[in-house]
Chains A and B, each alone.
Chain A
């Protein structure tokens, strides 16, 4: 079993829909990261959180430390949100443990 599991692997939705991507992990963490990778593009850090909730524009990230679970939500989704969303956890050392990513496609 992978230490970081993301679901779903693939998600296709219509413009305007509310999107939820989930991340579960099995190790002790110092922080959880959500990152975005556009097709052919670089990787951008969206959030880093160790408790509670963070919001940036239409993006919201939550984490439940007791349940070892995080969610990334996108409100009023738009085709430009189409990307791969990656969850990664900072473990006790320097490394990030990476999820496999969720490929999101938003159709107009």
Chain B
């Protein structure tokens, strides 16, 4: 079956521009997570969705970052006025339910480069 998909796979943008990253989770998965991974670093949690609501936005690094999820499915992560420190791989994962006892299935990631 289809896994988690993300688009674009690569994005190069100029400092100060806005970018939008998309995640298409596995059908039927109610929980959706966004993570960020800087070069050579571990995963950094950004935001968690249960259905369409985001009970935990605590990981968003600044108010330039926002995310939404519509119809309990597709999610978009928006970064406004991008900065060079935003350069990273942005990973999306989904799971059947939002509890730690469920496997998270990861997308291939979007590599964002801010020049």
Chain A positions within 8 Å of B, measured between CB atoms, are 29-31, 33, 35, 41-45, 48, 50, 86, 89-96, 98-101
B104 contacts chain A at the CB level, 8 A cutoff: yes
Identify B100's interface contact among A44, A89, A100, A101, CB under 8 A. A89
* Contact of A94 with B101 at beta-carbon distance under 8 Å, contacts A42-B109, A43-B106 already known: no
B65 contacts chain A at the CB level, 8 A cutoff: no
Chain B positions within 8 Å of A, measured between CB atoms, are 31, 42-43, 45, 48, 50, 55-56, 91, 93, 98-109
State whether B99 touches A90 (Cβ < 8 A): yes
State whether B100 touches A91 (Cβ < 8 A): yes
* Contact of A44 with B48 at beta-carbon distance under 8 Å, contacts A29-B100, A94-B31 already known: no
User: Most A CB atoms within 10 A — which of B43, B98, B100?
Assistant: B100
Identify B106's interface contact among A44, A98, A99, A101, CB under 8 A. A44
List of B residues within 8 angstroms of A93 by Cβ: 99-100
State whether B101 touches A50 (Cβ < 8 A): yes
**Considering the chains assembled together, what is the distance between the CA atoms of A13 and B28 in angstroms?**
41
Question: Closest residue of chain B to A91, judged by CB?
Answer: B100
**Considering the chains assembled together, what is the distance between the CA atoms of A100 and B38 in angstroms?**
13
Identify B56's interface contact among A43, A45, A50, A95, CB under 8 A. A95
Please, could you name 19 A-B residue pairs with CB atoms under 8 Å apart, sorted by A?
A29-B100, A30-B99, A30-B100, A33-B104, A42-B106, A43-B43, A43-B91, A45-B103, A45-B105, A50-B101, A89-B100, A90-B99, A90-B100, A92-B100, A94-B31, A94-B50, A95-B48, A96-B104, A101-B42
State whether A31 touches B100 (Cβ < 8 A): yes
State whether B107 touches A42 (Cβ < 8 A): yes
User: Most A CB atoms within 10 A — which of B50, B91, B106, B108?
Assistant: B106
List of B residues within 8 angstroms of A31 by Cβ: 100-101
Question: Closest residue of chain A to B31, judged by CB?
Answer: A94
Besides A31-B100, A45-B105, A91-B100, 9 more A-B contacts (Cβ < 8 Å) are: A30-B99, A33-B104, A42-B107, A42-B109, A48-B102, A94-B56, A95-B48, A100-B42, A101-B42
